Amino acid sequence: MTKQTRVVGLVAAVAIGAAGAVQAAEPFKLGTFEHAGEEIIGVVLRDRHVIDLAAANTSLERHQRLWVTLPMPADMSELIGRYELGMRDRIHAIVDLIAPAIDAGEPPAYVHDLGEVDVFPPVRPGVILSAALNYREHMDEMTTGVAAEMSDASAVDDAPESMQHFWERTPGDTRQNPYLFNKPASIVIGDGDPILLKPEREQIDWECEFAIVIGRPASHVPRDEARGHIFGYTMMNDVGDREGRGDDRYGSDWLVWKGSDTFAPLGPFIVPAEFVADPHTLDIQFTLSGELMQDANTELMQHSVDELVHFVSNNVILRPGDVIATGTPGGVGYARTPPVFMEPGDVARCSVEGIGTLTNPVREWLDVMPR
């Protein structure tokens, strides 16, 4: 096949894809990257190749007269908000075109190896919420033994009641009510960025979490409609400082415990929901410097992704790109005997089946930040 024949055939495939008649030949992920000093939105194939979405679209629009001009989004939140308004079909069409070119060993210039780009957080969410004690094993480990002495997790109700307007319980439901807390959006870091330990804070813990990325605005969403507001899934390491604040005022201090700079590694990519058949059957693992610390499955979540979206949307309006981390399974360092915490030189890796691996080195704050 000549190069001209291959291009004509592929352009024809793109024209069909642009009309929404063709599904992508393979799954893809989405991320935000830096290449040659510029921030780009990338379509990730096989966890190896990054297609510069804007550059690919510009090139293909020049070669296909039937393709409607489609402005590219400025960032991932805009892409997510426009996904069902033309972006989905366009990305599927681009993947249909580029995957065969990669297989043929002739990727276009706008396809980069993953090692050639810097990985940024895939999205800059306006809201980040994390579910507390959403895995029973984690609730148990935090309400017994040494961990309970320094944690208010032991203050769980034996007979939880409905929360008027926010959470109506069904007969026989003995679970705790959903409990979520805010993490500041400004503390998000990406894959490869260091988790920084503040001076003289020595009890910094990990919590590997499967995370929801909102796709459509969500306010007071019924449980059975929640899935329609989910764009996709990613991971977050809900890093926490177990050392506390030095007094007992007002119970939990989520700013000190969970809100310090770099305490929200996110990514590395987002997997669109169409490629995740069931978010409640995925293996989730965390390793610290190669040692397995957490090993569970998302089926162990007490409140499902649907229930979390429902509950959160009864409190705040969620918008495209917002993130809900679904809680961590058992195996955190604080609950171990003796406790284990992250130290400078460690490498934290959070993995979720089909989503990817989020890797972050651990560093001293003063080794990185100016004095």
Domain ranges of the chain: 3-120, 128-368
- Going by pLDDT thresholds of 50, 70 and 90, the confidence category of residue 155 is low
Cα(9)–Cα(239) distance, integer angstroms:
49
Mean pLDDT of the chain: 89
Distance CA 94, CA 2 (A): 21
Rg (CA), the chain: 22
Fold of the domain built from segment(s) 3-120: SH3 type barrels. (2.30.30)
Q: Which residue has the higher pLDDT, 85 or 149?
A: 85
Contact 294, 137 (CB under 8 A): no
Q: Please count the CA atoms within 13 angstroms of the CA of 8 that sit on its side-chain side.
A: 5
For 330, the token pair is: 């058992």
Extended strands (E) in 224-355: 230-237, 240-241, 264-265, 271-272, 283-288, 291-297, 323-325, 347-352
The predicted structure's pLDDT at residue 157 = 61
The region of weakest confidence among 179-188, 200-209, 235-244, 252-261 is: 252-261
CATH for 128-368, among 3.40.47.10, 3.90.850.10, 2.60.40.10, 3.30.2290.10? 3.90.850.10
The b-or-e profile of 246-269 (16+ CB within 10 A means b, else e) is: eeeeeebbeeebbbbebbbbbbbb
**What does DSSP assign to residue 87?**
I
Q: What is the DSSP letter of 73?
A: P
Task: With both helix axes pointing from N to C terminus, report the angle between 3-18 and 53-63 in degrees, rounded to the nearest 10.
Answer: 100
| Residue 152 pLDDT class (50, 70, 90 cuts) | low
Given a cut of 60, whether residue 212 has pLDDT beyond it is: yes
The residue among 122 and 252 whose pLDDT is bigger is 122
Grade residue 153 by pLDDT with cuts at 50, 70 and 90: low
pLDDT reading at 25 higher than 60: yes
Kindly indicate the confidence band of residue 139, based on its pLDDT and cuts at 50, 70 and 90. Answer: confident
Per-residue confidence (pLDDT) for residue 244, from 0 to 100: 81
Q: How far is CA 262 from CA 121, 216, 348, 369, in A?
A: 12, 27, 13, 12
pLDDT in tens, 283-300: 999 999 999 999 999 999
**pLDDT at position 8:** 34
From first CA to last CA, the distance across the chain in angstroms is 61
* pLDDT at 13 exceeding the cut of 70: no
Q: Over 90: is that where the pLDDT of 41 sits?
A: yes
> What is the distance between the alpha carbons of residues 57 and 73, in angstroms, rounded to a whole number?
11
Q: Which two tokens stand for residue 228?
A: 């329609």
Lowest-confidence region among 2-6, 64-68, 98-102, 307-311: 2-6
pLDDT at 126 over 70: yes
Quote the pLDDT of residue 5. 35
Domain 3-120 matches domain 128-368 at the CATH topology level: no
The partner residues of 47 in beta bridges, in order of sequence, read none
Q: Are strands 128-131 and 180-182 parallel, antiparallel or unpaired?
A: antiparallel
Question: In this predicted structure, what is the pLDDT of residue 205?
Answer: 97
Pair type for strands 240-241 and 347-352? unpaired
